[in-house]
Amino acid sequence: MTDLLAQLPQDPMLERRRLVQATAAKTQRSRATRSSLFTTLISACLALAVVPLFLVIAALIVRGGKVITWTFLTQAPLQPTIFDQETIGGVGNAILGSLVVDGVAALVAVPVGIVLGLYLAETESRWANALRSVTEIMTGLPSILLGIFAFIYVVTNMHTYSGLAASVALAMLMTPVITKAAETALRAVPRTLTEAGLALGARQSKVSLKVVLPVAAPGIITGVLLALARAIGETAPLLFVIGASIRYDWNPLHAMSALPLMTYQYSSAAYDSQHTAAWGVGLILVIIVLLLNISARLISAYMRRERH
């Protein structure tokens, strides 16, 4: 039998295959070593990428954890003196300021962002495409430019630093993020739902508001939470518009302060107690931001489970 096979004319394809197999067998060892080296290398990359988050959080807890007390959370800051370096008061005014400033910004950015998302999801035109590109580019613009915008229009016209000016800058920052999330969520709603609504005789507006919007709600809420998380952590747009007041004040028309700004100021302040306080404020900030992020993630995970 084998003799018979040997007498057949050689098949060029078989010949080729034999060559490939021989080469593969010969290089197997070196390719395997190279492969395991490469996979070790990129796994090390993953390890390197994960480490900084834990380093940052560990540093925040170790250096800032002990300053967080009830007084620290509720009192207004005090200026320490050389004789009394430990008296720094608290950051209650900054917590309040962050709440008011981001709240006012959200009050504007959430409805505008959702309506823009509806517009972009429902309109197919060159104009809508251009607007979509511009909002996407907006999300990548340095936030300090928005601070300049707020300074030019709000601070110079009101002749005073104010929480409102900071809200204007942050609303500009949040709107494109919410728009993007809303558009994505709205587009993911099955077309059949819209058509069923229209077939029942409801208007486009009614279908959009009563059918499509509720279905897309979890995605939109996720986007809003992420936008809020981003806005709460921003320092650059507040720098020259918020006024860095050290007093308690509800009124956004007056100068205020905010958590990220407090961290920035304390980090370069004169006394050690203030440096420690900077870590404390940073810890509060990171806790808030991570909570917002994790709840956003939980909502979107829940949404994904619902759909399948």
Facing residues of 89 across strands? 77
Query: How many CB atoms are located within 10 Å of the residue 122 CB?
Result: 15
Binding residue count for another protein, defined by CB under 8 A: 85
Instruction: Select the residue interacting with another protein from 49, 70, 83, 157 (CB under 8 A).
Output: 49
* Alpha carbons 18 and 36: distance in angstroms, whole number: 26
Task: Work out the angle at residue 301's Cα, subtended by the Cα atoms of residues 196 and 208, and round it to the nearest 5 degrees.
Answer: 25
Question: For residue 248, which of 104, 100, 106 has the smallest C-alpha distance?
Answer: 100
Q: For residue 223, give the DSSP letter.
A: H
Query: Where in 187-226 is the site for another protein (CB under 8 A)?
Result: 201-206, 208-209
**In terms of CB distance, is 55 or 253 closer to another protein?**
55
Binding mask 241-280 for another protein (x = CB under 8 A): -------------------x--xx--xx------x--xx-
Nearer to another protein, 120 or 215 (CB): 120
Provide the Cα torsion 231, 164, 239, 64; round to 10°: -60
Query: Which of 172, 177, 185, 303 forms a contact with another protein (CB under 8 A)?
Result: 172
Q: How many Cα atoms occupy the beta-carbon half-sphere of 91 within 13 Å? A: 28
Q: How far is the CB of 85 from another protein (least distance, A)?
A: 18
CA distance 303 to 69: 37
Q: Which is nearer to another protein, 84 or 210 (CB)?
A: 210
Give the shortest CB-179-to-another protein separation in angstroms.
8
Q: How many CA atoms within 13 Å lie on the side-chain side of 99?
A: 10
Q: CA–CA separation, 36 vs 30, rounded Å?
A: 10
Stretch of 73-81, 90-98, 140-148, 215-223 lying at the interface with another protein (CB under 8 A)? 140-148
Using the minimum distance from each CB to another protein, give the nearer residue, 87 or 133: 133
Binders in 57-116 for another protein, by CB under 8 A: 59-60, 63, 112, 115-116
Min dist. Cβ of residue 183 to another protein (A): 12
Name the minimum Å distance from CB 252 to another protein: 19
Q: Using the rule CB under 8 A, is 12 a contact of another protein?
A: no
CB 146 within 8 A of CB 173: yes
Q: Closer to another protein at the Cβ: 20 or 84? A: 20
